[in-house]
Amino acid sequence: MTSRISHTSLDCTDAYALSEWWKVVLGYTDVPDDPNEPSHPECMILDPGTGHRVLFIEVPDPTPGMNKMHFDLRPTDRTRDQEVERLLGHGAELVDDLRSADASGAGWATLSDPEGNLFCVLRSDAEVSGTS
């Protein structure tokens, strides 16, 4: 027998604000019968296409230091660099830029969300396959 991932959970200090921020980044929505509201200590968002869920849970003192888990994002309708610019405009902070300057265009950018959680932006599938 095996297990499946029910959802991904992130500890935070403001579950509502962080869930709202990530909804814009990922294109997720509230769970239809359980909308998120300010002051909710647990807020879940849902990918309407795949059903993947992310749960934001308020804790008094989130683990300091580097995340033990993080998202690697792959843009679906733009290039990696365009997505990095979009996210910076949405309030993300650039933490480390590991994008290659050579012709390969490999690498990624590490950003942080408003609570300092790290995530990476990879090249799109089109960039990887050379069809962009």
Please indicate, yes or no, whether residues 29 and 2 belong to a single structural domain of this protein. Answer: yes
89 and 117 in one domain? yes
pLDDT score at 3: 56
- CATH for 79: 3.30.720
Place of tokens 């990887």: 128
Q: Contact, 12 vs 62, CB < 8 A?
A: yes
Tokens, residue 40: 């909710």
Whole domain around residue 118: which residue ranges? 70-132
Q: Mean pLDDT, the chain, as a whole number?
A: 89
Do 74 and 131 fall within a single domain?
Answer: yes
Residues 29 and 48 in one domain: yes
6 contact partners, CB below 8 Å, separation of at least 6? 53
Whether residue 6 is found in the same domain as residue 44: yes
**For 88-108, what is the mean pLDDT?**
88
What is the tens place of the pLDDT at every residue in 50-76?
Answer: 999 999 999 887 666 667 678 989 999
- One domain, residues 85 and 123: yes
Residues 113 and 57 in one domain: no
On whether both 34 and 75 belong to a single domain, the answer is no
Closest CA to 26 of 7, 5, 52: 52
> Based on the domain organization, do 81 and 35 belong to the same domain?
no
Q: Among 16-20, 42-46, 49-53, 102-106, which stretch is predicted with the lowest mean pLDDT?
A: 102-106
Angstrom distance (rounded) from CA 92 to CA 95: 9
